[in-house]
Amino acid sequence: MNATTINTPAGTPFVEVTREFDATPAQLFRVMTDPNLVDQWLGPEGLEATIEQYDVRPGGTYRYIHKDESGEYAFRGVFHTVEQDKLVIQTFEWEGAPGEVCIEKMSLEPTETGVRLNQRSVFPSVEARDQSIEYGMNDGINASMDRLAALVAKES
């Protein structure tokens, strides 16, 4: 299985994620953006996901909720740029910290053996980024990417 690389450069508001998948860009894009599949891979282990809305098109919106015994955690955003099988640029906001909106860019790059996902999140401040890391963001990213790889393999 391919490893997920998470880069959080000190003193910057950035989080960069890279992962190779044994799939075509079209296969990965479909699993990443199909509202009927997103709840199967998105989020940390141990949380139940409910996708309320996931309209992947320019101007489309999304909202989903992660739930565990401690409570519910809702997230929302707007898709700004969507290029089929290539690129998604969206906002990302945890409703528990209103106004702390991230900009996320996810690009799919064909490789000799599959596709590479490059994701860059820009937080509103270094402090907001560091707080997300402290809350376990890296664990959630790793778990999501592993489940995404398994789902892509199953759906391909």
Q: Using one digit for the tens of pLDDT, what is the confidence trace for 13-69?
A: 999 999 999 999 999 999 999 999 999 999 988 899 999 999 999 999 999 999 999
pLDDT at 1: 67
Beta bridge partners of 64: 51, 75
Reading the block at residue 58, the tokens are: 């320019």
The CATH homologous superfamily of the domain defined by 20-155: START domain (3.30.530.20)
Cα–Cα distance for residue pair 105/41, rounded to 1 Å: 18
**The pLDDT value given to residue 156:** 79
CB 4 within 8 A of CB 145: yes
Tokens of 110: 């064909």
Count Cα atoms within 13 angstroms, Cβ side, for 29: 17
Whether pLDDT at 135 is above 90:
no
**Element at 106 (helix H, strand E):** strand 102-110
pTM above 0.85, yes or no: yes
What is the number of alpha carbons within 13 Å of residue 47 lying toward its C-beta?
Answer: 22
| Residue burial 1-15, b: 16+ Cβ < 10 Å; e: rest | eeebebebeeeebeb
Q: Is the pLDDT of residue 4 over 70?
A: yes
Positive or negative, the CA dihedral 125, 82, 33, 98 is positive
**For position 104, what pLDDT does the model report?**
98
- Write down the residue that tokens 């900009």 correspond to: 103
Q: What mean pLDDT is reported for the chain?
A: 95
